[in-house]
Every structure is written in C-alpha cells, then in structure tokens.
Amino acid sequence: TANSIEQPPDLKLGDFAFPCFSLAKELKKSPADIARTLSEHITKLPSIISSVAATGPYVNFFLSPGEIAKSVLYAKEKKVKTKKETMLIEYISPNTNKPLHIGHARNAFLGDSMARMYNTLGDTVVRTCLVNDRGIHICKSMVAYQENAKRKTQSAKLPTPKSVGKKGDHFVGDYYVLYNTLLQKDPSLEERAKECLQKWEDGDKKTHALWKKMNGWVLKGLDATYKRFGISFDKTYYESELYTHGKDIIIKGLKEGVFKQDESGAVFADLSSFNLPDKILLRKDGTAIYITQDIYLALKKWREYKPSTSVYVVASEQDLYFKQFFATLKLLNIPYADT
C-alpha cells in the first residue's frame, strides 16, 4: 500500500523505496530475493520514474526530474469549483535592456504556478506582465550602442542580433554591460544617458527610432524564452504607454497638496504617517521612475478588472518599495491599494 512506501536515507539509493519484509512470510522467500524479482519484472514505468533497482530487501525507485518539471509546468488546468472571484497576478516584469535573469525565472514559475492553482480553484485569473521598456537603464544600452557605432567606418554595417548570431535580449544586454565598462573610462556617459532619457520623453525622433529598434530585438528574444518556459499572459502592459498618465496623477497630486517638492525640484510622497521613508515620484528634471507608471497602472487595472485580489510576484528586496507604493496609493484614495 501507499503507507508502505519509504524514503531511503541516502538519495543515491533512490527517491522512494518499497520494503519487501511483509511479503516474505506469504511468499516464503527472503525479502532480498523478493526485491530482486520485483525489480526485474517491473518493466513498464510511468515517465516520471526513470529506473527501478533492488538494494537488499528494498525495491528502489528513481524519479526523472525533467519529467516531473514538465508535469508541473505544463499541467492541464481543471476547475473543481466556482468561486467567482477575479484575481490579477503580475509577474516577471522584464526590462528591455537585458535578458531574463534567475530572479525573473523564479518569479515566472511562481507566478504561473499560482495562476494555475487559483484557476483550478475556480477563480477568474488574469495573468499580467508589465514590460519596463523605458527609463535610464534602457538609455544606457542605447548610449553604449551609439558609442560602439562611432568606432565603425561609414561603410560598415552596424551590428544586429542576426549578424552576430545572438538572441536579441542577450545582444542588447551586452551593450548594457559595455556601458558600465565605458563609464569607467568616460564618466561623461552618465550625463549622456540622462540626456538620452530626456530626449526620449521629449519625443525626439532619432532617439525613439533607436529605442524601437533595440526594444524590438529584446522583446523578440523574451518571447522565445517565454515559449520555452511554457508561459503566456492574458494582458501585457508597457511602461512607455503608462508613464505620462502617471506623471499627470503626480503633478495633480502636487497641486492639491497630496505630494511635496524638495529643494532640488523632485516630487515626493511624505509617508511619515505610515512610518515609512519618503518616496521620490518624479526626478528633479521631471523624468519618470518605476513608481510613476506603477501608480497609474494600479488605477488602470482597477478600472479594467475590479479585482478582488491583486498579487505582485517579486523578490523580497522589493518589500520596502511595495510598502511605499501601497501607502502612496492610499494617499491618492485609489481603492486598489487594499486588494
């Protein structure tokens, strides 16, 4: 029976073991002989079991990690009851300046697993992904690509993912790394990156053209990774389409006294009433940061789905940020703050 299955003291012996002592009296054979006979006659195995071997009086079973992973990641979802609740789950949230790292992969599996579980329970689950496709980090890759272009002759073609045989996300990620290398030799690149961001927000055509090209390379590479993971999203949001609305909310909040402005000109939320550090919402030059668009996205999600629960799958390093984020939503009386 299932209660007879044991776990060997050493994984080298197997993942699970069946002791044959209880069969010895009935079969009038030694437990070791019974174990050996059983292991030799067990030929049809489910895919999650890679092999069977007898060790003394035990029949040991070895699992196949790859098959187990597939059964979890690609399991079919079957609803067992209807709870009629709407749950939003946001996960991965990649940046378009580099490939996914191990933290993104962890959040991908956690988020998708959570979505599958709640869907099975009968909730209406909306898988969402926020693509951080604008910002200073994106501009750093762009500046490095431009610097690399300067080293080419006029007749030379600029490199592309296809020309160097790389996935687009890895290709652009190399330039993000190159930026930090170049910065050590030329500190003025930091100002170049800031100017690039300012030009982007001002709608400069050349800046936007390069941004679209490099973003396209990364997004294509990320899609290939999602396909390998076996995940997809019901709704994908892009920071570039959200941040201006977030700026409008913050500027309105500043005029109404909800937010404040420091001596440098940066706009911030005074979160002392929540026993939290103040949070910058707009830089001194007026450019946006992550929370700028997160504020509007929270409102947008609420208007679109009226979720009963909203989940952000992130690393624990983001704990303070999300405390400040939800506190800021409360200052704005956005109902989403309590879901």
pLDDT digits 0-9 by tens, 82-126: 667 899 999 999 999 999 999 999 999 999 999 988 888 888 999
Q: Tokens at residue 110, please? A: 């956690």
User: CA-CA distance, 266 to 282, in Å (whole number)?
Assistant: 6
Residue-level pLDDT, tens digit, the chain, 339 residues: 667 899 999 989 999 999 999 999 889 999 999 999 999 999 888 889 999 999 999 999 999 988 887 776 666 666 666 667 899 999 999 999 999 999 999 999 999 999 988 888 888 999 999 999 999 999 999 999 998 876 655 546 788 999 889 999 999 999 999 999 999 999 999 999 999 999 999 999 999 999 999 999 999 999 999 999 989 999 999 999 999 999 999 999 999 999 999 999 999 999 999 999 999 999 998 998 999 999 999 999 999 999 989 999 999 999 999 999 999 999 998 876 565
User: CA-CA distance, 135 to 287, in Å (whole number)?
Assistant: 9
User: CA-CA distance, 265 to 41, in Å (whole number)?
Assistant: 78
In the chain, the largest separation of any two C-alpha atoms, in whole Å, equals: 90
Q: Could you tell me whether strands 267-269 and 279-282 are parallel, antiparallel, or unpaired per DSSP bridges?
A: antiparallel
Ranges assigned E (strand) in 98-234:
124-131
pLDDT of residue 156: 60
User: CA-CA distance, 281 to 266, in Å (whole number)?
Assistant: 8
Dihedrals phi, psi of 10, to nearest 5 degrees: -130, 125
33-57: pLDDT as tens digits: 999 999 999 988 888 999 999 999 9
- DSSP 8-state symbol, 135: S
- CA proximity to 36, closest of 49, 23, 50: 23
